[in-house]
Chains A and B, each alone.
Chain A
Amino acid sequence: MPDPTPLVEMRHISKHFGGLQALTDAQLELYPGEVLGVLGHNGAGKSTLIKILAGAETASEGVIFVEGHEVHINDPNDARVYGIETIYQELALCGNLNAPANLYMGRELHKWGFLRKNAMKAEATKALSRLNIRIQSLDVEVESMSGGQRQAVSISRAVHFDTKILIMDEPTAALGMEESKMVMELTVELKKQGIGIIWISHDIHEVFNFTDRITILHGGKNVVTAPTKEFTQDEIVSMIISGIPVERGTSAAGG
Chain B
Amino acid sequence: MQIAGIKSQPLVWILLVAVLLAIVLSFLSPFFMTVGNMTNLSKQVSIVAILAAGQAVVIISGGIDLSVGSILALSAVVIGALIQVDVDPFFATLAGLATGTLAGFVNGFVITRGNIPPFIATLGMLGIARGLALVITKGVSYQVLVPFFLYIGNAKFLGLPIPLYFVVVTFLVVSVMLHMTVFGRHVYAIGGDERVARLEGIPVDRQKVKIYMLSGFLAALAAVVMTGRLAATPPSVAQGIELQAIAAVIIGGVSFVGGRGIVLTALIGALIMAMITNGLNILGISSFYQQVLIGFVIIVAVWLDNLKSRK
Chain A residues at the B interface, C-beta cutoff of 8 Å: 54, 56, 75-77, 80, 86, 88, 92-98, 101, 105-108, 110, 113-115, 137, 139-141
- Asked if B149 is at the interface (CB within 8 A of a chain A CB), the reply is no
Give the Cβ gap from B204 to chain A, nearest Cβ, in Å. 10
Report whether B202 and A106 are in contact in the complex, using a CB–CB cutoff of 8 Å. Answer: yes
Given contacts A110-B182, A113-B182, 5 further A-B contacts (CB under 8 A): A54-B199, A96-B188, A105-B201, A106-B201, A114-B180
Report whether A94 and B196 are in contact in the complex, using a CB–CB cutoff of 8 Å. Answer: yes
Give the Cβ gap from B285 to chain A, nearest Cβ, in Å. 40
Cα–Cα, bound, A247→B192 (Å): 50
Cα–Cα, bound, A95→B192 (Å): 7
Determine the chain A residues whose CB is within 8 A of the CB of B191 once the complex forms: 96
Report whether A92 and B201 are in contact in the complex, using a CB–CB cutoff of 8 Å. Answer: no
18 A-B Cβ contacts within 8 A?
A56-B199, A94-B189, A96-B191, A96-B259, A97-B185, A105-B200, A106-B189, A106-B197, A106-B201, A107-B201, A110-B181, A113-B181, A114-B181, A114-B182, A115-B181, A115-B184, A139-B1, A139-B2
Give the Cβ gap from B239 to chain A, nearest Cβ, in Å. 34
Picked from B184, B200, B260, the residue with its CB within 8 Å of the CB of A106 is B200
Give the Cβ gap from B69 to chain A, nearest Cβ, in Å. 29
Report whether B188 and A75 are in contact in the complex, using a CB–CB cutoff of 8 Å. Answer: no
Report whether A96 and B196 are in contact in the complex, using a CB–CB cutoff of 8 Å. Answer: no
Give 1 or 0 for each of B190-219: 1 = CB within 8 Å of chain A CB: 011101111111100000000000000000
Determine the chain A residues whose CB is within 8 A of the CB of B192 once the complex forms: 94-97
Cα–Cα, bound, A225→B76 (Å): 67
- Asked if B307 is at the interface (CB within 8 A of a chain A CB), the reply is no
- Most chain B C-beta atoms within 10 Å of own C-beta, residue among A105, A107, A113, A139: A105
- Asked if B3 is at the interface (CB within 8 A of a chain A CB), the reply is yes
Cα–Cα, bound, A75→B36 (Å): 58
Determine the chain B residues whose CB is within 8 A of the CB of A93 once the complex forms: 193, 196
Report whether B197 and A94 are in contact in the complex, using a CB–CB cutoff of 8 Å. Answer: yes
Determine the chain B residues whose CB is within 8 A of the CB of A114 once the complex forms: 180-182
- Asked if B13 is at the interface (CB within 8 A of a chain A CB), the reply is no
Give the Cβ gap from B233 to chain A, nearest Cβ, in Å. 35
Report whether B201 and A76 are in contact in the complex, using a CB–CB cutoff of 8 Å. Answer: yes
Give the Cβ gap from B196 to chain A, nearest Cβ, in Å. 5
Determine the chain B residues whose CB is within 8 A of the CB of A97 once the complex forms: 185, 188-189, 192
Give the Cβ gap from B95 to chain A, nearest Cβ, in Å. 27
Report whether A105 and B181 are in contact in the complex, using a CB–CB cutoff of 8 Å. Answer: no
In chain B, what residue has the closest Cβ to A75?
B201
Instruction: Given the known inter-chain contacts A95-B193, A97-B189, please indicate yes or no for A88 contacting B201, CB distance below 8 A.
Output: no
Determine the chain A residues whose CB is within 8 A of the CB of B289 once the complex forms: none
Give the Cβ gap from B211 to chain A, nearest Cβ, in Å. 15
Determine the chain B residues whose CB is within 8 A of the CB of A56 once the complex forms: 198-199
The 10 A-B residue pairs whose C-beta atoms are closest, nearest first, are A106-B201, A94-B192, A96-B192, A96-B259, A106-B200, A76-B201, A105-B200, A77-B201, A139-B3, A106-B202
Picked from B2, B182, B197, the residue with its CB within 8 Å of the CB of A115 is B182
Give the Cβ gap from A169 to chain B, nearest Cβ, in Å. 11
In chain B, what residue has the closest Cβ to A142?
B192
Give 1 or 0 for each of B7-21: 1 = CB within 8 Å of chain A CB: 000000000000000
Cα–Cα, bound, A246→B197 (Å): 42
- Asked if B183 is at the interface (CB within 8 A of a chain A CB), the reply is yes
Determine the chain B residues whose CB is within 8 A of the CB of A101 once the complex forms: 185, 188-189
Determine the chain B residues whose CB is within 8 A of the CB of A98 once the complex forms: 3
Determine the chain B residues whose CB is within 8 A of the CB of A113 once the complex forms: 181-183
Cα–Cα, bound, A108→B181 (Å): 9
Instruction: Given the known inter-chain contacts A97-B188, A110-B182, A115-B180, please indicate yes or no for A92 contacting B200, CB distance below 8 A.
Output: yes
Determine the chain B residues whose CB is within 8 A of the CB of A95 once the complex forms: 192-193, 259
Cα–Cα, bound, A105→B202 (Å): 7
Cα–Cα, bound, A105→B201 (Å): 8
Determine the chain A residues whose CB is within 8 A of the CB of B202 once the complex forms: 105-106
Cα–Cα, bound, A76→B199 (Å): 6
Determine the chain B residues whose CB is within 8 A of the CB of A75 once the complex forms: 201
Determine the chain B residues whose CB is within 8 A of the CB of A139 once the complex forms: 1-3, 6
Give the Cβ gap from A94 to chain B, nearest Cβ, in Å. 4
Give the Cβ gap from B193 to chain A, nearest Cβ, in Å. 5
Instruction: Given the known inter-chain contacts A98-B3, A139-B2, A139-B3, please indicate yes or no for A92 contacting B199, CB distance below 8 A.
Output: yes
Cα–Cα, bound, A141→B260 (Å): 11
Determine the chain A residues whose CB is within 8 A of the CB of B189 once the complex forms: 94, 97, 101, 105-106
Give 1 or 0 for each of B68-90: 1 = CB within 8 Å of chain A CB: 00000000000000000000000
Report whether B259 and A94 are in contact in the complex, using a CB–CB cutoff of 8 Å. Answer: yes
Determine the chain A residues whose CB is within 8 A of the CB of B3 once the complex forms: 98, 139
Give the Cβ gap from B203 to chain A, nearest Cβ, in Å. 8
Report whether B182 and A108 are in contact in the complex, using a CB–CB cutoff of 8 Å. Answer: yes
